Amino acid sequence: MVESWVGAMSRLLPRAIREGGHTFTFLTRDLHHYLRSAPEGTAHPLLGARNTITAETNDTDALLPEVERLHAVLAFDGVITSCDYYLPTVARIAGRLGLPGPGSEAVEIACRKDATRRVLADAGVPGPRFAVHEEWADLAGAAREIGYPLVAKPVDLCAGMYVRRVDDEVQLADVYRTLADVPVNARGQRRAPVVLLEELLDGSEVSVETVSCAGTVHVVGVTDKSIGGAPAFIETGHMFPAALTHADAEAAEQTALHALKALGLVDGVVAHTEIKLTADGPRVVEVNPRPAGNRITELIRHVTGIDLAAAFVEVALGGQPELRRTDTGLRSAAIGFLVPQAAGTLEALDGGELRDAPGVLEVQLTDPGKVVKAAGSNNEYLGHVMAGDADGPGARDRVEALLAGLRAGLVIR
């Protein structure tokens, strides 16, 4: 395992490895990044590593021969990461060691939003009009040509960081200056100094969750998404399965399959493809060559019994994951996030008897005393509530009602 997130997947992936009967060696350039706290008061997930090795994971050319030497001693069967920023590194390592996994070029393209746009456009996969520029004059000219409002975004950051709606040139200039002041990502990797402009798409957003193995792409299902925090695009909640007509679900799935084929992500990958359902049909937002975040994988497990973290492990080993649905007793599951609207210190967040409310599956809340800031991405949540519905697509309404009660008791000063 080459690096990881410090959120949900940092626990789900080691658990899936262990429950699959496997062990893992953990490679990181900065162990202290993971040792700041044991998440949710549980044993730290890295305690499950058979070996923990410090290596310069940000220099892939230097890392490859080092991993080869480790491979000669430890005999790895697969290579994996849950962090977007190291997906290309993992693909190159797998290729170098002759281990299972998608092609490194396909992964590198999928992890660059501008490269993805170009490949999908050439393949005729529907998406927004777009432009990519580094210089301000070129960017401003492209914006006028596409027409406001637009979406401006970095090509190589995650979790919705610095993705903004821009309604005029003044707002675009603000985004341009902000991104110029962010030369590296959260892992110290140098960023590409370009900005991606996209036509603003209207319509609901969903994601298609897939598992590709042995040359076949299996569709697990479609998840919906709610967005807030304008002008940012913050994910405020999800429900699985999305409450769509059969025609809309089928159209989203076929668009995702078209995108995955165009990118060459048809073997050895679990993917999370984001789709906008516009009046003119589905449009691809992003293709992520890894399992969905924000605990979408857990929504799916609660409803279908399919464990996408376990599937991620198995395809990394070249195996056939278990994708048969089981009757879990739930017809839908949803999650809602508590998004801070103001900066300050969290003084009160009373969950009360929330955990005992009907249908509740998970509750995680930030402890009072934490310094918070108004959310600008998916990294500033104050907690979440997950609930299920045994009868139909009522999980989202249940979660929204529970969140409304939480917001009433939220105090930030």
Domain's final residue, options 199, 227, 261 = 199
Pair 213, 323 in one domain: yes
HEC string of the chain?
CECCCCCCHHHHHHHHHHHCCCCCEEEECCHHHCCCCCHHHCCCHHHHCCEEEECCCCCHHHHHHHHHHHHHHHCCCCCCCCCHHHHHHHHHHHHHHCCCCCCHHHHHHHCCHHHHHHHHHHCCCCCCCEEEECCHHHHHHHHHHHCCCEEEEECCCCCCCCCEEECCHHHHHHHHHHHHCCCECCCCCECCCCEEEEECCCCEEEEEEEEEECCEEEEEEEEEEEEECCCECEEEEEEECCCCCHHHHHHHHHHHHHHHHHHCCCCCEEEEEEEEEECCEEEEEEEECCCCCCCHHHHHHHHHCCCHHHHHHHHHCCCCCCCCCCCCCCCEEEEEECCCCCCEEEEECCCCCHHHCCCEEEEEECCCCCEECCCCCCCCCCEEEEEEECCCCCHHHHHHHHHHHHHHCCEEC
321 in a structural domain: yes
Residue-wise pLDDT for 281-301, tens only, equals: 999 999 999 999 999 999 999
Residues 323 and 340 grouped into a single domain = no
Pair 48, 164 in one domain: no
Same domain as 314, residue 207: yes
Asked if the structure places residue 366 within a domain, the reply is: yes
Residue 16 is assigned to a structural domain of this protein: yes
**pTM (2 d.p.):** 0.95
- Domain end point (choices 199, 225, 250): 199
Interval 253-266: pLDDT, tens: 999 999 999 999 99
pLDDT tens, 156-201? Answer: 999 999 999 999 999 999 999 999 999 999 999 999 999 999 999 9
Our count of domains for the chain comes to 4
- What CATH number corresponds to the domain at position 210? 3.30.470.20
Residues 28-70 pLDDT 10s? 999 988 876 655 556 788 888 999 999 999 999 999 999 999 9
Examine the fold and report which residue of 285, 301, 328 is the final residue of a domain before the chain moves on.
328
Residue 109 in domain: no
Range of the domain at 344: 335-412
Residues 359 and 383 in one domain: yes
Domain for residue 3, yes or no?
no
The answer, yes or no, to whether residue 275 has pLDDT greater than 80, is yes
Same domain, 88 and 206: no
Q: What is the CATH number of the domain that holds 157?
A: 3.30.1490.20
